[in-house]
Copies of this chain bind each other. A is one copy, B any other.
């Protein structure tokens, strides 16, 4: 059994990790920490876990995290870079669901995240945890930087095109729509029900932290520079990301075959038949990415539709998938939940 710790388990990523780990056959929950909720039983804060999680939140300073085999950081950005190195030094493996180790270029990271990086040496050693693209590195990683929700949907959607070098690498567009849980469980006016319901808006058009993360991943696949316009939107739904991706073909190619071949062996990526329109609910609560490729009017423009559940394949599910790889388990262990629909 893998002894698991969770740091910062009071947000949506934390409760989703718990939902998945509770049903995982090779895991025992060893510790969950929260500064603000220390002493509170987990199931009191999250009644959905009543009868399934007996632990209480521990204070981070008192939790037996170094006795864990793996620790998930479900903390705000800027925590793991301070706390993880101590655990890593003791041989504990770490999966960070925040952004601390996602960008290889520390200067770029510091610009976007507005703070000084506390452990640049670990940035260099961290592995970017998108298993479909970087599976082999993940297996042996001690520190995994779990990708952001938008970056997962966009990179999986564009990877086949970019890798095959069949589209222009300038002029890529990712028009993305996210459910409100993507904004986290912080009390803020703009994500109140009365503000976000029956409403739709873009945000961060001038620049969003997930843009450099996406560009870094695509550039690595392309072997060349990539230029991407990224526009996120807030959608009145709890979960789900829908990425509508635009690229310009530079050569003739059978797009459907390209995608089906690229993802043929992948248990968590589903290429839909030609002409399909994936719905976010078709992956609700499941560790899946569903993709459809279109070429309207048979022109040069490719339109890719890519959907994930932001809390599962976009966060906690992907983290468990990474854990499975890191511990030599079958990749699908504990992750075969059927999507909840309707």
- Assess whether A301 is in contact with B180, with CB atoms less than 8 Å apart: no
The answer to whether A239 has its CB under 8 Å from any CB of chain B is: yes
Complex alpha-carbon distance, A277 and B205, angstroms: 8
Per-residue B-contact encoding for A204-233, CB less than 8 Å = 1, 0 else: 011100000000000000000000010101
Size category of the binding interface on chain A: 35 or more
Complex alpha-carbon distance, A272 and B185, angstroms: 24
List, sorted by A's number, 15 A–B pairs whose CB atoms are closer than 8 Å.
A47-B272, A47-B279, A48-B338, A50-B290, A180-B192, A185-B189, A185-B342, A187-B189, A197-B198, A198-B237, A198-B238, A200-B280, A201-B277, A202-B242, A238-B342
Complex alpha-carbon distance, A236 and B19, angstroms: 24
Binds B, one of A65-73, A139-147, A281-289: A281-289
The answer to whether A58 has its CB under 8 Å from any CB of chain B is: no
Partner of A296, one of B183, B206, B236, B340: B206
Complex alpha-carbon distance, A99 and B189, angstroms: 23
Across-interface contacts of A206 in B (CB, < 8 A) = 275, 294, 296
- Assess whether B181 is in contact with A200, with CB atoms less than 8 Å apart: no
Complex alpha-carbon distance, A192 and B206, angstroms: 26
Complex alpha-carbon distance, A19 and B339, angstroms: 8
- Assess whether A237 is in contact with B236, with CB atoms less than 8 Å apart: yes
Complex alpha-carbon distance, A179 and B277, angstroms: 17
The answer to whether A102 has its CB under 8 Å from any CB of chain B is: no
- Assess whether A278 is in contact with B192, with CB atoms less than 8 Å apart: no
Complex alpha-carbon distance, A12 and B55, angstroms: 35
Most buried by B among A188, A194, A248, A283: A194
The answer to whether A297 has its CB under 8 Å from any CB of chain B is: yes
Most buried by B among A193, A240, A246, A337: A193
Across-interface contacts of A23 in B (CB, < 8 A) = 336-338
The answer to whether A154 has its CB under 8 Å from any CB of chain B is: no
Across-interface contacts of A49 in B (CB, < 8 A) = 338-339
- Assess whether B199 is in contact with A280, with CB atoms less than 8 Å apart: yes
- Assess whether A194 is in contact with B195, with CB atoms less than 8 Å apart: no
Instruction: Please give the distance in Å from A242's CB to the nearest CB on chain B.
Output: 5
- Assess whether B236 is in contact with A236, with CB atoms less than 8 Å apart: yes
Instruction: Please give the distance in Å from A98's CB to the nearest CB on chain B.
Output: 18
Complex alpha-carbon distance, A340 and B244, angstroms: 26
Complex alpha-carbon distance, A277 and B47, angstroms: 10
Complex alpha-carbon distance, A291 and B49, angstroms: 15
Per-residue B-contact encoding for A25-52, CB less than 8 Å = 1, 0 else: 0000000000000000000001111111
The answer to whether A77 has its CB under 8 Å from any CB of chain B is: no
- Assess whether B279 is in contact with A242, with CB atoms less than 8 Å apart: no
Instruction: Please give the distance in Å from A175's CB to the nearest CB on chain B.
Output: 4
The answer to whether A22 has its CB under 8 Å from any CB of chain B is: yes
